[in-house]
Chains A and B, each alone.
Chain A
Amino acid sequence: MCSGRVDLEFVLRALANGMDGVFIGGCRLGECNYVTHGNYHALNMALLCKKIMAHIGLNPDRLRIEFMSAGEGNLFTEVVDDFTKQVRGLGPLGKGEGEDLEPEVLQERLREVTKLVPYIKLMMNPKLSQRLSPAEREDFYTTEEIDALFSEVASYFIDPEKCQACQICLRRCPVEAIIGAKNQIHVIDQDKCIKCGTCFEACPPRFGAVTKITGGPVPPPIPEDERALARKGKGAEA
């Protein structure tokens, strides 16, 4: 396991668990003993995570990533002491963030962001693997970019009028978020949905039943007892 294995979700989980700071240690940059240089991946993840933390009102200094070799015990001590001091200075998570961040509000925000981790990974993937020089690190992820990332979160909705209950999207959904069956109009469980858009891509164009909704609210799902598919045109009912 390489430092690049550290997942965005791990950091968020630690914060959600009430940790006041998170430290990630990796090997020295550019000195990978393999060809992977995964510590650069860890660095990018940490830079992104800091911006996300700022976005939800947390002080990004609560996350630190440092690179050192196993032979540099004294450097490790120095860095950890310094980080501990810094986190102490910041105060307990939430309480020290200046604006009165209610614990419930913070938890809710962390929960929301954690739910969006799949979406964030998907959107940010091209940037997450880049090897950054020190000069590039500062503004690699911009505040505007992160704000846009969250304001443009899309939701997917299956139009019950158009759905033909063909089960294509249902089978393709990677997280089993689509409820339905043969002749049963499909519905997306918005809690399970990771906003990957697979259903949107999979729905045959001649049906065009899956719609992407950005900004606005998602219509409520069609009640369970109305999901039976009426095949022979709409005039048949009543």
Chain B
Amino acid sequence: MNSVDGEVGDFSVSLTRKPRYVNEDLCTGCTTCVEYCPVEYPDQFNQEISDNKAVHIYFAQAIPLIAYIDESCLYLKEKKCRICENVCKADAIDLRQKPEKMEIKVGAIVLAAGYDTYDPSLKQEYGYGRLENVVTSMDFERLLCATGPYEGEILRASDRKHPHKIAWIQCVGSRRVTPGDNSYCSAVCCSYTQKQVILAKDHDPDARCTVFHNDIRAYGKDFERYYQRTQELSDVRFIRSYTTVAREDPQTKNVFVRYSTPDEGVKEEEFDMVVLSVGLNPPADYQGLADKFGIELTEHGFCLASPTNPIGTTRPGVYVCGAFQGPMDIPESVFTASGAGTQCGELLDYRRGGLTRERVYPAEKDVSQEKPKIGVFVCHCGSNIGRVVDVPNTVDYALSLPNVVYAQEQLFSCATNSAKQITDTIKEKGLNRVVVAACSPRTLEPLFRDTLREAGLNQYYYDMANIREHCSWCHSKEKEESTRKAQDIIRMSVARAGHLKPLQEMDLPVNKAALVVGGGIAGMTSALSMANQGHEVHLVEKENDLGGMARRLHYTLDGLDVQQYLDGLMRRVYRHPSIHVYTNAEVTEATGYVGNFVTKLTSDRGPSEIRHGATVIAVGVDVYTPTEYLYGQDDRVLTHLELEERISSGDEAVTGAQTLVMIQCVGCRNTDRNYCSRVCCSESIKNALKLKEINPEMDVYILFRDIRTYGMLEDYYREASAKDVKFIRYEPENPPQVEATEEEGRPVLQVSLMDYVLGMELAIGADIVTLAAAVIPREDNKDISQLFKVSLGPDDFFKEAHVKLRPVDFATDGVYLCGTAHYPKHIPEAINQAYGAAGRALTLLSNDIVTVSGSVCEVDEARCMGCGACGQACSYGAIEFRKTKQGKKAVVNPVLCKGDGLCNAKCPTGAIYLKHFTDEELLSQIDAMSATA
């Protein structure tokens, strides 16, 4: 990226494209060049622990999955070699490529620059780079990986032996104000370390793992359980201590770690390997990025954004997503990515679809009455298949199989001309089924199905025989056996192909309106974003006005006036011509499916029936009503929300208190609610700082288990400590005791607890005690979940389709999730996710139709005995039972069916069947497998 000119809606971006030295259109990713390349060079993807070649594919899942040549190439350095050019059968190598300058015109820009990891070699104290068996967490991540430097074996650099005793050191480069370190918390290391411990134990069940940590910040959804799962493994220790790497044993190269213990003072312990849990830095050239894009940064080098829109930068039309916002975990990163999408949509909606072109296919021929005429195309994949499997012989073999009327070999079946050849051959030879024997269907099945459509055949008349990943690649030394196996695989494919049925994909119209359930910050933000892109939005709120939980919040750590912001947001919602607000509303019935929902409700507007294409669930949360610590019995005991309300109303009983004690983790992180409420540590620190600002003389104590001020919130924790807010840790087995009593004639709430640092019992005479009451799921979550056919997690928060990969989607298509209904979160996080939900909903609403796969289940009604086994097996509610004259019969709604086929395996009579994977089709493969030629 060289420069950006212009302005929002009309940017001109100048780019220099580095040469790949491989023609992207010709390379098929076969990796023959990699094998022949003579240059071994440290593999950057594998942290330079192992070597790769000068020509290589960056990593196994790279997109596009094709090769490039790096600066270690002999030809590029010394004009020698050129072996790759000679071995590439696709003629894809192009060593004459030059850097290419290009200008592109865009309306909006998304910065997803990611993060860099902290470099521990900058500090002597960890010995990284000096002691061979000290690695970073990134190094260890690669060691764990099957595609890593030692193919998934964890080995020490010094002797290539498996380490059995491994230590992790947390907060390396984070939570420290010393020069070169980051003052903030990197937010992800506690959890990734736990993951690494679990995986290390998977690799070696006898491994002895020790984690040296500060606070354990298991603040994310399901993280607390994950932490417990790690702790409960055998031979896993969590030790709370600052730690240094002392030295190594010159013979064994084992590493000595020095740490302190409450009982025995400073200790030294020997480990086979030490992993440094390095923190997250802003992307390497953050200042350069900022200058080029004309955006401002925070003092830490991350992107500066407003708390009310973390996705917007200081320059209109330039958006930011992912960890360039600040350290964040994968789900947050995914929210912000979809959120950036919707914000671009708000800007550019009037030009939506302007560059798309529709494909036109020839009309489909009905060949269902014809006898199968199967064509088999066997791919050489350059030399990937061809040099192991005898392809010509295999073509002959294919011709000998029943129903095969045509077979040929191809150098690369996926090349454009080969695909065209398949289309032409179908027409010429009158083929009605096609088998391509090549690679995995994962990437290329859509391409080959397309060649059938181009020839006027139904795309489901296609089967792929994987003779590369399943054959030539895994038995490259056994050529004869591989040829036989390839023939077995093809025989099975051909057998199945004979049974394939033409299937139609269904196009459903999409209703362009959206329903948002919940009118808090998340619901309103999501509604506005969708409405700004031309969609009608029905916003349903249970209370008599919008605002949700935020109506009880007044200020935030980053200085936001919540009520002022909320007023503005509500005004925008009420005034928006496309948003229809229903207050005092209750949903009574919700039916339909993706693109076509019907929801009935009663509200101040009377009964309504709303038709909508997408649904966003943003119902928010409740607060726990404590039964502990005299709450409800003594009016000097408040929840932190009540404290905030008292502070903002200027209640002198609170602001004038001599001593105020805050107790954290009330009602959660226990057996009733086995999760962390995420926001309370920062909320308490926020209130403590506010109190100190109003009344600097006040003694404020925060009694905590772990302080979980993750990310940039850490700076406020430090500020509170500096302002003499006293933090005292307690253990859950030994919680503080609160008692109403008198102290020198002054009525006080006496709070007594064990101080583990001082090693003595403390008694604090407090005027006010405040409780960090847990954030809890709403009681009606269950009803909402049943109405909209979505699920709840173990803690009764709404359960997303996938915790990392699809954090704003539900498993039910067309229904999305945002805000605290998903899990407790801070306002900027809720806003990120609200935009994310809008972005996901827009990917549906911006289309006129949604296409449903042809491979779904269907019921042969005569065979159905109405036993209900299929319905129990279905996770998607796709199967209903209807009463008929012949009893109860199952009916599949193909729109809801996801084609997993569990019902098929449960059905006693074979009445319900998964199309494209029927018993007949699969049994034919099993029979063909056994029928050795």
**B805 proximity list for chain A (CB < 8 A):** 33
Q: Is A175 an interface residue (CB 8 A)?
A: yes
- B810 to nearest A CB, angstroms? 9
Q: Is B363 an interface residue (CB 8 A)?
A: no
Q: Among residues 136 to 185 in chain A, which have CB atoms less than 8 Å away from a CB atom of chain B?
A: 171-172, 174-176
- Chain B, residue nearest A68 (CB): B146
Q: Which of B326-334, B420-428, B569-577, B908-916 contacts A (4 or more CB under 8 A)?
A: B908-916
One of B873, B886, B905, B926 near A14 (C-beta < 8 A): B926
CA distance A77 to B869 in the complex (A): 36
Q: Is A218 an interface residue (CB 8 A)?
A: no
- B138 to nearest A CB, angstroms? 17
**Cβ B904 vs Cβ A38 within 8 A:** no
Evaluate whether A5 and B909 lie within 8 angstroms (CB atoms) in the complex, with A17-B926, A77-B474 already known. no
**Cβ A174 vs Cβ B911 within 8 A:** yes
**B864 proximity list for chain A (CB < 8 A):** 174
Evaluate whether A128 and B901 lie within 8 angstroms (CB atoms) in the complex, with A121-B869, A174-B865 already known. no
**A38 proximity list for chain B (CB < 8 A):** 900, 902
One of B60, B801, B907, B914 near A1 (C-beta < 8 A): B914
**Cβ A121 vs Cβ B917 within 8 A:** no
Q: Is A237 an interface residue (CB 8 A)?
A: no
**Cβ B914 vs Cβ A175 within 8 A:** no
CA distance A35 to B806 in the complex (A): 12
- Chain B, residue nearest A19 (CB): B930
Q: Mark B916-932, 1 if CB is under 8 A from A, else 0.
A: 01010011001101110
Q: Which of A57-65, A194-202, A209-217, A223-231 contacts B (4 or more CB under 8 A)?
A: A194-202
**Cβ A194 vs Cβ B909 within 8 A:** yes
Evaluate whether A45 and B905 lie within 8 angstroms (CB atoms) in the complex, with A36-B898, A125-B867, A172-B887 already known. yes
**Cβ B900 vs Cβ A118 within 8 A:** no
Evaluate whether A33 and B802 lie within 8 angstroms (CB atoms) in the complex, with A9-B919, A74-B152 already known. yes
Q: Among residues 15 to 37 in chain A, which have CB atoms less than 8 Å away from a CB atom of chain B?
A: 17-19, 33-37
**B886 proximity list for chain A (CB < 8 A):** 171-172
**Cβ A125 vs Cβ B869 within 8 A:** yes
- A203 to nearest B CB, angstroms? 13
Q: Is A79 an interface residue (CB 8 A)?
A: no
Q: Is B639 an interface residue (CB 8 A)?
A: no
**Cβ A5 vs Cβ B872 within 8 A:** no
**Cβ B865 vs Cβ A2 within 8 A:** no
Q: Among residues 219 to 258 in chain B, which have CB atoms less than 8 Å away from a CB atom of chain A?
A: none
- Chain B, residue nearest A197 (CB): B865
- Chain A, residue nearest B870 (CB): A125
- Chain A, residue nearest B60 (CB): A71
CA distance A140 to B931 in the complex (A): 35
CA distance A4 to B886 in the complex (A): 29
- A127 to nearest B CB, angstroms? 11
CA distance A63 to B931 in the complex (A): 20
Q: Among residues 38 to 59 in chain A, which have CB atoms less than 8 Å away from a CB atom of chain B?
A: 38, 41, 45
CA distance A5 to B904 in the complex (A): 7
**A190 proximity list for chain B (CB < 8 A):** none
**Cβ A41 vs Cβ B905 within 8 A:** yes
**Cβ B902 vs Cβ A4 within 8 A:** yes
Interface on chain A toward B: helix, strand, loop, or mixed SS?
helix
Q: Is B110 an interface residue (CB 8 A)?
A: no
Q: Is B906 an interface residue (CB 8 A)?
A: yes
**B865 proximity list for chain A (CB < 8 A):** 172, 174, 196, 198
CA distance A74 to B906 in the complex (A): 32
Evaluate whether A34 and B923 lie within 8 angstroms (CB atoms) in the complex, with A2-B900, A5-B902, A119-B908 already known. no
Q: Is B862 an interface residue (CB 8 A)?
A: yes
- B155 to nearest A CB, angstroms? 14
Q: Is A222 an interface residue (CB 8 A)?
A: no
Q: What is the interface residue range for chain A against chain B?
A: 35 or more
CA distance A118 to B910 in the complex (A): 8
Q: Is A105 an interface residue (CB 8 A)?
A: no
- B855 to nearest A CB, angstroms? 8
Q: Is B145 an interface residue (CB 8 A)?
A: yes
**Cβ A13 vs Cβ B923 within 8 A:** yes
Q: Is B300 an interface residue (CB 8 A)?
A: no
Q: Is A66 an interface residue (CB 8 A)?
A: no
Evaluate whether A34 and B811 lie within 8 angstroms (CB atoms) in the complex, with A73-B146, A171-B886 already known. yes
Q: Is B206 an interface residue (CB 8 A)?
A: no
**Cβ A194 vs Cβ B908 within 8 A:** yes
One of B802, B887, B904, B927 near A7 (C-beta < 8 A): B904
CA distance A19 to B926 in the complex (A): 10
Q: Mark B132-150, 1 if CB is under 8 A from A, else 0.
A: 0000000000000111000
Q: Is A72 an interface residue (CB 8 A)?
A: yes
Q: Among residues 848 to 872 in chain B, which have CB atoms less than 8 Å away from a CB atom of chain A?
A: 855, 862-865, 867, 869, 872
Q: Is B791 an interface residue (CB 8 A)?
A: yes
**B914 proximity list for chain A (CB < 8 A):** 1, 5
Evaluate whether A1 and B919 lie within 8 angstroms (CB atoms) in the complex, with A36-B900, A41-B902 already known. no
**Cβ A121 vs Cβ B791 within 8 A:** no
**Cβ A71 vs Cβ B867 within 8 A:** no
One of A1, A45, A121, A175 near B863 (C-beta < 8 A): A175
Q: Mark B552-583, 1 if CB is under 8 A from A, else 0.
A: 00000000000000000000000000000000
Evaluate whether A125 and B900 lie within 8 angstroms (CB atoms) in the complex, with A5-B917, A10-B922 already known. no
CA distance A129 to B152 in the complex (A): 33
**B873 proximity list for chain A (CB < 8 A):** 4, 41, 129
**B911 proximity list for chain A (CB < 8 A):** 174
One of A6, A171, A176 near B905 (C-beta < 8 A): A6
Q: Is A122 an interface residue (CB 8 A)?
A: yes
- B107 to nearest A CB, angstroms? 34
- A206 to nearest B CB, angstroms? 18
- Chain A, residue nearest B885 (CB): A171
**A41 proximity list for chain B (CB < 8 A):** 873, 902, 905-906
Q: Mark B415-450, 1 if CB is under 8 A from A, else 0.
A: 000000000000000000000000000000000000
Q: Is B875 an interface residue (CB 8 A)?
A: yes
- Chain A, residue nearest B866 (CB): A198
Q: Is A75 an interface residue (CB 8 A)?
A: yes
CA distance A198 to B866 in the complex (A): 9
**Cβ B801 vs Cβ A4 within 8 A:** no
**Cβ A71 vs Cβ B887 within 8 A:** no
**Cβ B146 vs Cβ A7 within 8 A:** no
**B862 proximity list for chain A (CB < 8 A):** 174, 176
- Chain A, residue nearest B811 (CB): A35
CA distance A1 to B801 in the complex (A): 18
Q: Among residues 96 to 144 in chain A, which have CB atoms less than 8 Å away from a CB atom of chain B?
A: 117-119, 121-122, 125, 128-129
**B930 proximity list for chain A (CB < 8 A):** 14, 17-19
Q: Is B899 an interface residue (CB 8 A)?
A: yes
Q: Is B125 an interface residue (CB 8 A)?
A: no
Most buried by A among B876, B910, B914: B910
CA distance A77 to B475 in the complex (A): 11
Q: Is B151 an interface residue (CB 8 A)?
A: yes
Q: Mark B68-101, 1 if CB is under 8 A from A, else 0.
A: 0000000000000000000000000000000000
**A119 proximity list for chain B (CB < 8 A):** 908
Evaluate whether A2 and B901 lie within 8 angstroms (CB atoms) in the complex, with A13-B923, A35-B791, A129-B872 already known. yes
**Cβ B926 vs Cβ A13 within 8 A:** yes
**B151 proximity list for chain A (CB < 8 A):** 74
CA distance A65 to B908 in the complex (A): 22
CA distance A4 to B905 in the complex (A): 7
**B929 proximity list for chain A (CB < 8 A):** 14, 17, 19
One of B146, B875, B898, B906 near A75 (C-beta < 8 A): B146
- Chain B, residue nearest A1 (CB): B917
CA distance A107 to B407 in the complex (A): 37
Given contacts A36-B900, A121-B906, 10 further A-B contacts (CB under 8 A): A4-B902, A5-B917, A6-B905, A9-B923, A10-B926, A37-B875, A121-B907, A122-B869, A125-B867, A125-B869
22 A–B contacts, CB within 8 A, in A order:
A2-B902, A5-B900, A5-B914, A5-B917, A6-B905, A10-B922, A10-B923, A17-B929, A34-B801, A34-B898, A36-B900, A41-B873, A41-B905, A72-B152, A73-B146, A121-B908, A172-B887, A174-B863, A176-B862, A194-B908, A196-B867, A202-B887
